[in-house]
């Protein structure tokens, strides 16, 4: 351990928040899936923006690389120190302030969990538009840095569309802040958009001004059985065209249903299940039932919150169930609507024999989570085969999880040399010493 680094960090954040005990730091060095495992000499846990800026200032001056980390639920290895970097944990920057109940906005510290943002929004009669199964750990800083999507993108958009402003420490330790929350504000480059999805490579997000969305009490969930992925895509389209107030249209294959260990939901097994949630000020059940028609379906209406949660378990329990098999290869991709069904049908054919492919996702956004188990997680031939198939079909190699380390070698499939060069220029301008997550995102 570099004594100067330890001494400087202890002076800035205090002895107890500059952690070098290997038993503690090990927990910050492995990702949620267990696939990405590194090591770090030090975990630094600042409590406010001033401390973050002081840490970055010292690290930039001394050429020490830093990996920002929030809830460590990221799935592409971007938040763990794979090259011995210092971990900058933002979890202590938690808290909600400046709640505007009329305007529907609040400011949240980077370490605030998404569940806490949702709870704070509810208190003032609103809701937060981003929701994801990792809500109890994923943080505001991490979701901004990855531009997280989640279960309600269809209705409310991704994180970028919720962020009205940010406070962040750039790589040269300067603090940028624009937290006024003006909805209309055309005053030059939109730094919040740039920081959204930058995966800790341009700046450390310390707070965000978030827009809230209306809170709808009348909710209905339907789990519908269909026989092919093409049927699932068609149902998704029909629901979006004909039903008002659609919040989410998800899908899972029958093998995922089996894996989560929940009973066959509709009397007999179906090849694919589509989960639709609608929410409005009026009960949306009739509109949804009309779209579902004669298809086999389990429906839970506004007065059945427990049953609705039970139906959601079929979809939300998959990520954890896959992880219990062992570290999976996780590929989160998007396809154009007209390629989605063919891709889901074809993808098991491109993984090695003996591997299991688990397919689920957000059918209305074309977003498929391709999870592969039964292969060595370091065997990149699976990533290569699947991501090349995605690119050949006009899709994106990352729908919502980001590039991190997992997708770096394939960025060229979907981004031109000129685009990558422009990204490098921006990186150099905002992080001239190149200390912010230097091994993530850009190859």
Q: Catalog residues that contact ligand FAD under the rule CB under 6 A.
A: 32, 67-75, 78-79, 90, 110, 132-134, 137-139, 141-143, 145-146, 148-150, 199-200, 204-205, 319-320, 400-401, 404, 437, 440
- Least separation in angstroms between residue 104's CB and ligand FAD is 22
Nearest Cα residue to 364 out of 275, 244, 269: 275
Which strands make up the sheet holding 163-170, listed edge to edge? 96-100, 105-109, 203-211, 163-170, 175-177
How far apart CA 47 and CA 36 sit, in angstroms, is 27
In this structure, are residues 115 and 69 in contact, taking their beta carbons and an 8 Å threshold?
A: no
Q: How far is Cα 296 from Cα 274, in angstroms, rounded to an integer?
A: 11
Rounded to an integer, what distance in angstroms lies between the CA atom of residue 369 and that of residue 312? 17
Reading the block at residue 235, the tokens are 């149902």
Task: Name the strand (E) or helix (H) holding 287.
Answer: helix 285-292
Rounded to whole angstroms, the Cα distance separating 130 from 117 reads 10
Which tokens in the block code for residue 155?
Answer: 């209705």
d(CA 195, CA 120): 24
Residues 6+ apart with CB under 8 A from 89: 28, 43, 44, 45, 69, 70
Tokens 């029909």 — which residue?
A: 238
């Amino acid at each position: 351990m570099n004594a100067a680094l330890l001494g400087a960090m202890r002076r800035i954040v205090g002895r107890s928040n500059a952690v070098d005990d290997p038993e503690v730091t090990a927990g910050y060095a492995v990702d949620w899936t267990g696939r990405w495992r590194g090591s770090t000499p030090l975990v630094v846990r600042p409590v406010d923006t001033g401390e973050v800026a002081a840490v970055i200032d010292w690290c930039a001056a001394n050429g020490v690389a830093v990996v920002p980390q929030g809830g460590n639920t990221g799935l592409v290895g971007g938040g763990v120190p794979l090259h011995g970097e210092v971990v900058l944990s933002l979890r202590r920057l938690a808290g909600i302030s400046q709640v505007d109940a009329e305007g529907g906005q609040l400011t949240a510290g980077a370490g605030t969990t998404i569940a806490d943002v949702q709870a704070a929004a509810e208190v003032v009669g609103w809701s937060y538009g981003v929701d994801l199964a990792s809500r109890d750990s994923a943080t505001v800083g991490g979701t901004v840095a990855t531009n997280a999507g989640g279960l309600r993108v269809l209705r409310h958009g991704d994180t970028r569309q919720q962020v009205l402003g940010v406070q962040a420490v750039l790589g040269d330790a300067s603090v940028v802040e624009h937290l006024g929350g003006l909805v209309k504000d055309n005053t030059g480059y939109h730094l919040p958009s740039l920081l959204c999805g930058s995966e800790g490579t341009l700046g450390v997000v310390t707070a965000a001004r978030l827009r809230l969305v209306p809170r709808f009490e009348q909710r209905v969930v339907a789990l519908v059985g269909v026989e092919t992925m093409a049927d699932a895509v068609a149902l998704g389209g029909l629901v979006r065209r004909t039903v008002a107030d659609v919040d989410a249209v998800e899908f899972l294959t029958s093998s995922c249903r089996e894996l989560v260990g929940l009973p066959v939901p509709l009397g007999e097994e179906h090849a694919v299940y589509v989960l639709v949630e609608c929410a409005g000020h009026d009960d949306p059940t009739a509109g949804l039932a009309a779209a579902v028609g004669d298809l086999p379906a389990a429906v839970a209406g506004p007065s059945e919150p427990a049953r609705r949660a039970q139906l959601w378990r079929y979809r939300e329990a998959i990520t954890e169930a896959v992880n219990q098999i062992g570290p999976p290869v996780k590929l989160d991709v998007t396809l154009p609507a007209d390629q989605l069904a063919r891709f889901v049908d074809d993808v098991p054919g491109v993984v090695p024999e003996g591997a299991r492919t688990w397919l689920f996702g957000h059918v209305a956004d074309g977003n498929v989570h391709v999870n592969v188990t039964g292969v060595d997680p370091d065997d990149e031939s699976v990533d290569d085969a699947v991501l090349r198939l995605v690119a050949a079909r006009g899709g994106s190699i990352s729908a919502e999880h980001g590039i991190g380390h997992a997708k770096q070698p394939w960025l060229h499939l979907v981004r031109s040399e000129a685009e990558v060069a422009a990204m490098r220029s921006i990186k150099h301008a905002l992080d001239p010493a190149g200390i912010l997550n230097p091994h993530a995102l850009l190859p």
